[in-house]
Amino acid sequence: RFARVRVVTAHDDRARAPEWLVIEWPRGDAEPLRYWLSTLPEATTFKALVGTIKGRWRIERDYLELKQELGLGHYE
């Protein structure tokens, strides 16, 4: 399960643009599991927002696997 809310983060006492705070809370868990901040536009659909977050995680995992399993980290 996911939830989202528009928030303004605090940083250096400067005015900042609103961002999405996305929360992942799996069924049966006592508390949320993960949190993300996103600067995607306010008009972004909930489905697109979650899809982007989960897609990025998948890319990061694939990249890590390529570095570890195939030795691509040696070429950086």
pLDDT single digits (tens) 39-64: 999 999 999 999 998 887 788 888 88
Phi/psi at 12 (5° precision):
55, 25
Domain total in the chain: 1
Whole domain around residue 38: which residue ranges? 2-75
What residue has token string 């990061």?
Answer: 60
> How many angstroms separate the CA atoms of 34 and 42, rounded?
21
Strand partners, 3: 23
pLDDT, one tens digit per residue, over 5-29 is: 999 998 777 888 999 999 999 999 9
| Helix or strand (DSSP H, E) at 44 | none
Q: Which amino acid is at 20?
A: W
pTM above 0.85, yes or no: no
